[in-house]
Structure 1
Amino acid sequence: MSDSRNQISMVMAEEAKAQIIDLLKQITDLMPFLTGLTPEQRKRLPKIEKRNKTFVKDVEAVIKNDASLLPSYVKPDEMAKDLELYEQLEELLTPLGYLYDRVRDTQMLAGSEAYTQALMVYNMIKAANKAGLPGANSLYNQLKGRFDRSSAVSTDEISNN
């Protein structure tokens, strides 16, 4: 989207940001069972989808009615707890996804507007330098390194360290 309008003009109060971070920590603390998976684990794990969720529920009903065919190491109660937690977390994903998308989109828009403005200022300084305006040369030299192919890599490496 190359809209030159300023669509967002806001700075979050530090107190509000701190409060939000605290609330997010409180939410995380309410779910001490949350875990992290590696990309390989995510890929490897069998997953519940719409078509096999019904199967899992059917198996749960069957073993609830008669678990006599199961070996002792199969724990029907554990499967029921896992399925219930899956469904509880599924209910949280929609509002969390909405919040994540809105925060990410707002961050992207704010960043885009800041970068667009920075590019505009850079191009003005570049034009002023080309026109020979006093003081423009030092400003241009300070900023132009960002666009030199050879120094762009080293500038990124320096800023990431």
Structure 2
Amino acid sequence: MPLTNLNSAHLTAAQVTAAQNALADLENALSAVNVNLTPEDRQRYGSINEQNKLFVNKVKDYRTSNPNLSVSDVDWDEFEKDFASRRVFDSLINRLDALSTKLKGAKILHDYDNYQSALADYAYTSYRAGTGADGYETKYNEMKQFFGRSGKTTAPPAPENP
């Protein structure tokens, strides 16, 4: 017998609404800084790697400790704002990524539970269709399309988990 009900925790309607409202609030709060880069822009500007982050941090450290050694051609106020924004965005991204990973895990367990229940229903439908019970042959014929046609297959392919 397969394991089922791996995740029996479900959000209430009020919790779903609260989460959706919180996401809408977050989207609104961040709308001023949202930028949709084209694939070409992403390629052109990229993301600075760890070595270059260390370089930027070193320049900031020098600017903070020895401002007289900083070039006057740089808009240092903007540099500071960019630096602060980068830190905030990095923190937000890390928190959102962690939340996304947890939500994906919960979804995977619910997907698995649904799949196992669907397999049980299909097995029962197959049995009932074999006995000639009313309606089951039609249901069976509509459901069997999800199963392989070569050889004898007793279950559809396992669900994909993103």
With structure 2 as the length reference, what TM-score do the two structures score?
0.72
Residue pairs, 1:63-78, within 5 angstroms: 64-68=67-71, 70=73, 74-78=74-78
Q: Secondary structure at the match of 1:34?
A: coil
Partner amino acid, structure 1, of 2:46: P
Trace 1:76-115 onto structure 2 (pairs within 5 A): 76-115=76-115
C-alpha distance in structure 1 between counterparts of 2:101 and 2:71, whole Å: 47
Aligned position for 1:133: 132
Task: List runs of 5+ in structure 2 lacking aligned partners.
Answer: 150-162
Q: Which residue of 1 aligns with 2:3?
A: 4
Count of residue correspondences: 144
Q: Is the 8 A contact 1:122 1:140 kept in 2?
A: yes
1:116 paired residue number: 116
Shift of 1:126: 1.7
RMSD value over aligned CA atoms?
A: 2.6
Gaps of 5+ in 1: 150-161
What's the CA shift string for 1:38-71, capped at 9, x where partnerless? 444334323223221121123345564345563x
In the TM superposition, structure 1's runs of 4+ consecutive aligned residues that sit over 6 Å from their partners are: none
Structure with bigger RCO (C-alpha 8 Å, 6+ apart): 2
Instruction: Show the counterpart of 1:30.
Output: 29
Whether the aligned pair in 2 keeps the contact of 1:125 and 1:139 (CA below 8 Å) is yes
Assess, with a 3 A threshold, how the Cα gap between structure 1 residues 68 and 50 changes in structure 2: closer, same or farther: closer
Match of 2:19 in 1: 20
